[in-house]
Amino acid sequence: MLTWLAKPWQRLNQARVQGRLPHALLIKGQDGVGKRMLAEQLAAALLCEQADAGGQPCGHCHSCGWLQAGTHPDLSWITPEETGKAIKIDQIRALNTALAMTSHTGRYKVAIIQPADAMNVNAANSLLKTLEEPAANTLLLLLTAAPGRLPATIRSRCQQLEVATPDADSAQRWLVAEGVDPDDSVRYLKLANGAPLQARQMANTDDSALRDQRLEQLQAIFTGQLDPVQTAKDWMGETERQTLEWWRVWLQELVRWQLAGQQPLEADVAQKLQQIVETVDCRQLFNISDQVTNAVNATGSGLNRQMVLEDVLISWAKLANQTSIRAAAGNR
């Protein structure tokens, strides 16, 4: 168990040992802090035939064998059928049917929905039936980085557990222990908004070339050399959320540069952002940052993803024009 997950795990395991687990648990926290790890650990502790008091599965019973093979009949995973798409009503209906059936092992039936906020309206409404009338010994685990996007009717029927982002020093020490270069660990943590697991993934995939390309595209859109609509189309796909996360970090760096004179740590990033920081005021940057954050939170929803990207990129393209108009007016 990761050090920063010790307290939330202690709370979950204590509830398990004392028989006080709710029928539905909403685990919330930003992406990359370990929500899935907590859910998997709790599922393993509930399904194992000989888990110890600390929640550690035995590793050799039938249930553990199924878990290791990813075929346990009493564990259901619900995720979008396609990356960036919504969880559909048919998926939730099938889950409701599975949870209503008798457990294969006579123990718990567990369902993990990730990200829970990806459920469309019909899917969320379908889940309400199970939340309101849960079968005995069933546990729904809803994982989300955007709990506010879940209907209030869903949230009110779940016990909530927040997984906090660890402090920077703890996260960096963990990354270094995982084999990430100390200097790189600082950079990747910054790009991952402090989330250690996401930072490790960035370090392992080494997507610096794509990151540089995305920054150059934003710079070209700002100067009117690139079409925002076409760029939105290019950004669609598995790297969409990652691109938006990078953009959010760059906006934060621009704000710090304007307010405190603190330049980005990376010289190449500072060079590309310099023209922007010299011509755009903080109010505009905050507005764009809000739009980007909303776009990140909407990833996986039923919204038209390309339209969401087009809106925020068009707003970005208008910044330079708005700045030029104000400058011209001030010179009259």
3-state class of 109 per DSSP? strand
Q: Report how many helices (DSSP H) and strands (DSSP E) the chain contains, helices first.
A: 15, 5
Contacts of 267 (CB under 8 A, 6+ apart): none
For residue 121, the surrounding DSSP H or E stretch is helix 121-132
**Regions in the chain scoring below 70 on pLDDT:** 84, 206, 265-267, 299-303, 321-332
State the pLDDT at residue 332: 46
Q: Name the β-bridge partners of 139.
A: 110
The whole-angstrom separation of Cα 227 and Cα 146 is: 30
23 within 8 A of 46, measured Cβ to Cβ:
no
Task: State the DSSP string of 52-83.
Answer: -TT----SSSHHHHHHHHT--TTEEEE--SST
Nearest to 218 by CA among 253, 170, 187, 179: 253
Domain 3-162, what fold? Rossmann fold (3.40.50)
The whole-angstrom separation of Cα 184 and Cα 95 is: 42
Contacts of 284 (CB under 8 A, 6+ apart): 319, 322, 323
Contacts of 286 (CB under 8 A, 6+ apart): 255
State the pLDDT at residue 205: 75
Sequence-ordered alpha helix ranges (H) in 137-281: 152-155, 168-177, 182-191, 196-205, 208-222, 228-235, 240-260, 267-279
Nearest to 103 by CA among 139, 56, 142: 139
Where do the domains of the chain lie?
A: 3-162, 207-330
How are beta strands 24-28 and 159-162 bridged, if at all? parallel
Residue 104 CB neighbour total at 10 angstroms = 14
Residue with tokens 């920054």: 215
- pTM value is 0.75
3-state class of 324 per DSSP? helix
Write the CA distances from 179 to 32, 74, 171, 182, integer angstroms: 17, 36, 13, 9
Report, at the CATH architecture level, how domain 207-330 is classified.
Up-down Bundle (1.20)
Nearest to 193 by CA among 165, 215, 158: 165
The whole-angstrom separation of Cα 136 and Cα 233 is: 47
